[in-house]
Structure 1
Amino acid sequence: MKYLTITLCLLVALSSRAVASDTLFIYPAGGQSDAQLAKDRYQCYRWAVDQTGVDPNTLQLPETGQTMVRNKQHGAGNRGFWLGTLAGAALGNALDGHSGGTVDGAIIGASLGNMIGVNKERKGEIAAQQRAQVLANQKAQAAYSYQDRLNDYNRAFSACMEARDYSVR
């Protein structure tokens, strides 16, 4: 069976959780202890989650990789050829009543059946390409939304930490 494959190339940042708050560089500008840093980090984490509705520890990465869509009309040209041959032979025999009509009918039926089947198969390819494009667009939108949500969380977390006299980058 024939498959149409579309590979999505998403941002490298989306393939890992590298943008989560644990990769932010936090400097205790006010001389805070490690214990105070841990307490402030947790409190700011909770506050940022409450403010944004985004928890980077549970936020799911969007699906990446290949999208495979099947052409449901694959092989229609061959089916049309054989069905047209049989139908044309039967019709040619019925109308002419001898083997010459059967052969002529089979040739005409095969040609017409093949043309109809190939056209149907091509329409199936177009439909498969359209379905694949819709899926690719949905994945791209999910990736964009994921990144936006994570950026919102990081901004809120950073604002909280900076308000507690930490330098965040």
Structure 2
Amino acid sequence: MNSVHIRRIHLFGALLVGSLQLAWAQSQLMIYPAKGQSPQQQQQDRYNCHTWSVQQSGFDPSSPPAQAAAPSLGGASRETLRGGARGAAAGAAIGAIAGDAGKGAAIGAIAGGMKRGLQAREEQRQAASAPPAGLDNYNRAMKSCLGAMGYTVN
């Protein structure tokens, strides 16, 4: 895989993380007007409650924190190299016993690099699918505010 494809994959990952955060914020609350509020009033009340909830929670789902972006390619490459180095050392030791330390080191480097690279990617995937920190407090503030304004919030 060349570097252009890898960059595209990481750009897609960054976009996916951002959209997941917005999806989490949007999908957590179901808001129903309990007192016959008009759509315009609902929009104004949601905006006011959003502003208040951001102030109360310190979290704004419409502008996710910068560290929530997809991890850089450099981080994954470093982990792959570290895994490769560990694998090479282990492979050389095993290869020395079998009579060919060089071949054992090469096999160990490939296996160790692949293993650590896959582990790093799995950790990135799990981090991307987790709700952002602060979202729970934001949602609780929104529920409280909208409830006080006459909405049913689930």
SS in 2 for 1:167: strand
Whole-Å separation in 1 of the counterparts to 2:126 and 2:134: 14
The corresponding residue for 2:11 is none
- 1:139–1:62: structure 2 CA closer, same or farther, 3 Å change rule? farther
Whole-Å separation in 2 of the counterparts to 1:145 and 1:39: 26
The corresponding residue for 1:40 is 45
Whole-Å separation in 1 of the counterparts to 2:84 and 2:116: 13
- 1:72–1:22: structure 2 CA closer, same or farther, 3 Å change rule? closer
The corresponding residue for 1:124 is 109
- What letter matches 1:143 in structure 2? S
Whole-Å separation in 1 of the counterparts to 2:69 and 2:130: 9
Specify every segment of 5 or more residues in structure 2 that has no aligned partner in the other structure, as ranges. 2-15, 89-97
TM-score (norm 2): 0.55
Whole-Å separation in 2 of the counterparts to 1:22 and 1:165: 20
Asked whether the 8 Å contact 2:46–2:146 carries over to 1, the reply is yes
Whole-Å separation in 2 of the counterparts to 1:144 and 1:22: 14
2:60 is the alignment partner of 1:55: yes
Question: Could you tell which deviates more after superposition, 50-59 or 136-145?
Answer: 136-145
2:119 is the alignment partner of 1:133: yes
- What letter matches 1:132 in structure 2? L
How many residue pairs align between the two structures? Answer: 119
Whole-Å separation in 1 of the counterparts to 2:24 and 2:34: 22
SS in 2 for 1:58: coil
Alignment of 1:68-87 (within 5 A): 69=80
Question: Could you tell which deviates more after superposition, 134-143 or 41-50?
Answer: 134-143
Alpha-carbon offset, residue 50 of structure 1: 1.6
2:5 is the alignment partner of 1:26: no
Whole-Å separation in 2 of the counterparts to 1:149 and 1:142: 15
TM-score (norm 1): 0.51
Relative to its length, the structure with more strand (as a share) is 1
- Percent identity over the alignment? 32
- What letter matches 1:28 in structure 2? P
Whole-Å separation in 2 of the counterparts to 1:156 and 1:132: 39
- 1:23–1:51: structure 2 CA closer, same or farther, 3 Å change rule? same
Whole-Å separation in 2 of the counterparts to 1:139 and 1:164: 38
Asked whether the 8 Å contact 2:70–2:124 carries over to 1, the reply is no
CA-based RMSD: 3.9
SS in 2 for 1:43: helix
Whole-Å separation in 1 of the counterparts to 2:131 and 2:29: 21
Whole-Å separation in 2 of the counterparts to 1:50 and 1:40: 15
Asked whether the 8 Å contact 1:62–1:139 carries over to 2, the reply is no
